[in-house]
Structure 1
Amino acid sequence: MKAPEGADLCFPLLLNNSCRKPVPPQSDGMLVLLSFISLLTAALNLLVIISISHFRQLHSPTNLLILSLALSDLLVGLLLMPVEILSTETCWFLGDLMCALYYVVDFIITSSSVGNMVLISIDRYLAICDPLRYNTTVTLDKTKICVCLCWMYSVLYNSLILMDFLRHPDSHNSCYGECVVVLNHITGSVDFVFTFISPITVIIVLYLRIFMVAVSQAQIMRSHIAAVTQQSSVRVTAKKSEMKAARTLGVVVVVFLICFCPYYSPSLMGEVIEDSSSSSTFVVWLLYFNSCLNPVIYAFFYPWFRKSIKLIVTLKILQPGSCDAKIL
């Protein structure tokens, strides 16, 4: 796309090869909203990281996975969202090298977030479906290894996916002042399978299994207490347990699908996936918004998170011995 003479160009000296400056939103309210989402994403995930890191009672395998997820989502709020906001206001002036590095970091952070969600699903599956062996099967050291492998896999996998882009980061730029990465049919299909289809399949299968076990356990409880006078109250408790399992499954799967489906819709239709600093703003932000919802889904549902927030906001964590406070 060549800009006509006299247009508002990114590089006025390169009249025939410069991109036109992006048209910013007509209302400043949109920029304020996006900035607020970025700040909220960083703040919520930072609270999760501080809580799990500081309080010793929270040093468990499950919380370590939540910590890893919060770290990747924190990077989305601190790095990816601000760059996306700037790209709606101005051209890409950082050069081809920074463009390549930005998208590599973008893909690594996003895929590591998805990987952490899968690990959390596996952890919850083992905790509910095999509770007797959970403490011996899932240990803190094993969880640390899994988290490290998840991040290492994200780095290696995305480096391979973007290998051609790293060699020629400007190959898909139509003009100077643009930062674009395009996944062809092969790499797009591979990324579609490993970053979307496989993770969502694992999550759905595991949570369906969890839901079935929860319902089965509730039915067993009702059958054992059928002759007791507390039968009605047990029914109410069992009913609540079933509904809670269903809501958890629905929230996890629906939010993930809503945030990721639009981004991968080109792959569903057999087209290439294109990311650029000036296109698909809504799709990219919807993908990033999942990082804002993750701390709500995985942490705000826990009472210990609300207690830790109070101690953090009131600065009581600065007191001696605060790391041993009773949070659970």
Structure 2
Amino acid sequence: MGSESTTVSSDLATLNASMTDPELMNETASSDWLWTPITWSWWISIQLVVACLGLVGNLLVLLVLFHRRSFKKPTDILIGGLAAADFITSIFMIPQPKLSGAPDTVLGNVACKLVYSSIFLWISISSSVFTLTAIAIERYIAVLHPVKFKIWVTPKRLVYWFLAIWLLSFALNSRTFGTTMVDSTAGKCVVNYSHSAIQIVLGIFVFLIRFIFPAIIMLVCYYLITRSLRQRSERFQAQTVKSVDSRLEQKNAGPSQSLLAARSKVIKIMFVVIITFIVCWAADSTGLLAYNSHLVGRWYLYSHLYHVFVIVAFFNTCANPLIYTVNYPEFRLAIRDLFFGSHGVRGSLFSKDTEQSTEANDHSDKAGKYALTNI
């Protein structure tokens, strides 16, 4: 939705501004291919560090999931998809020379639309956001609709989930094809809107689709999940207290408690992931909304405040592996198993609750039959 000047076109601000500003333009010759070299400012240096952390961390998540052969469980598949999207984002975050001039040819216009606009970066970012939303929906179905879970959420059906996620990500960012082009008189990539109201509408639309709606869906899903688990825990405790037969209590308590504990652990971790996403992207998304709505001027894209907001936003690409490592002992054990070649437990890493649900239901059915025959 625009571009930075040649003095700052290779920094973090350009990655955002290249799709947000219809007025900023590069000063280049009219028929040359020109690339602005990397300027190693403090924000570019931090960008490189964040990109490297994202590459290493998300690759580690993918390797652990493959090593455990856990890509047969829905949550593991979705978390693998989230790591893959963040890994791709980290690749495009690596500092590189910025396209600052192009001839007015078919190839020049294609380069402006694909390279200058940083469209691939924003597609992968959008995919990461939508995948995180899908994880919240998957957890909601697993907890509140466990009977239908195995019908609605299967590895085969998740293929369609991912297809929809990436198609939506592409559609959300495809606006650059109609707005980014070569200025034939100056030989530079520019973004033009036929009317300023279009920029305002698109800015609001992107803000809602890529931040507000996903955040609301995730928070609502986890609120309903938490409430359901709390109610089940209270009912289970009440049933345990009222139980007349101690043998029935022993048979029913083990799997039920284990199932609740497994679900709560994974849900707490993913809730931290969601809160981290909201915290990281809130300031940058709001700032870009203000800019696209013409509430702040072009000075904002050159300010240190904007650079800080962008760095915080991009930190989200490497945050999830750190969260898994700190909060999930099973993930740390899986990393140890990966590097030291020990013969640890194979199978699901994040979907243990769905594995235990069948066992818990079987125990519950047996306990129910036992209770009926002893009334």
Taking structure 2 as the reference length, what is the TM-score of the superposition? 0.63
Instruction: State which drifts further: 197-206 or 305-314.
Output: 305-314
- In structure 1, the residue matched to 2:334 is 308
Structure-2 change in CA distance of 1:237 and 1:13 (3 Å): closer
Shift of residue 53 of structure 1? 3.0
| Runs of at least 5 residues in structure 2 that lack an aligned partner in the other structure | 7-25, 103-107, 349-375
- In structure 2, the residue matched to 1:284 is 310
Question: 1:55 aligned to 65, 68, 73, which one?
Answer: 68
Question: 2:280 aligned to 245, 259, 269, which one?
Answer: 259
Q: How many residues align?
A: 295
Superimposed CA distance per residue, residues 262-320 of structure 1 (whole angstroms, 9 cap, x where no aligned partner): 12213654437989799832222221111111233467644443233223323x39xxx
Shift of residue 119 of structure 1? 0.6
- In structure 2, the residue matched to 1:326 is 346
Question: 1:78 aligned to 91, 111, 114, which one?
Answer: 91
Matching residue's letter, 1:287: A
Contact 2:269 2:328 in 1 (8 A): no
Contact 1:41 1:73 in 2 (8 A): yes
Structure-2 change in CA distance of 1:68 and 1:20 (3 Å): closer
Shift of residue 44 of structure 1? 1.0
CA RMSD of aligned residues (A): 4.5
Instruction: State which drifts further: 264-273 or 254-263.
Output: 264-273
Structure-2 change in CA distance of 1:253 and 1:71 (3 Å): closer
Shift of residue 211 of structure 1? 0.9
Distance in 1 between the 2:228 and 2:127 partners? Answer: 28
Taking structure 1 as the reference length, what is the TM-score of the superposition? 0.71
Distance in 2 between the 1:142 and 1:149 partners? Answer: 11
Q: 1:326 aligns to what SS in structure 2?
A: coil
- In structure 2, the residue matched to 1:6 is none
Matching residue's letter, 2:90: G
Distance in 1 between the 2:330 and 2:213 partners? Answer: 32
Contact 1:179 1:277 in 2 (8 A): no
Residue 162 of structure 1 pairs with residue 168 of structure 2: no
Question: 1:68 aligned to 81, 87, 90, which one?
Answer: 81
Larger of the two Rg values belongs to structure = 2
Q: 1:56 aligns to what SS in structure 2?
A: coil
Shift of residue 226 of structure 1? 2.6
Percentage of pairs with the same residue: 22
Shift of residue 188 of structure 1? 0.5
Structure-2 change in CA distance of 1:19 and 1:71 (3 Å): closer
Shift of residue 203 of structure 1? 0.7
Distance in 2 between the 1:237 and 1:154 partners? Answer: 38
Question: 1:211 aligned to 198, 215, 226, which one?
Answer: 226
Contact 1:62 1:123 in 2 (8 A): yes
Distance in 2 between the 1:127 and 1:21 partners? Answer: 50
Distance in 2 between the 1:140 and 1:246 partners? Answer: 20
Distance in 2 between the 1:19 and 1:143 partners? Answer: 41
Distance in 2 between the 1:310 and 1:180 partners? Answer: 49
- In structure 1, the residue matched to 2:22 is none
Distance in 2 between the 1:185 and 1:141 partners? Answer: 39
Distance in 1 between the 2:45 and 2:180 partners? Answer: 33
| Runs of at least 5 residues in structure 1 that lack an aligned partner in the other structure | 4-9
The runs of at least 4 aligned residues of structure 1 exceeding 6 Å deviation read 10-14, 18-23, 175-183, 236-243, 272-279
- In structure 1, the residue matched to 2:105 is none
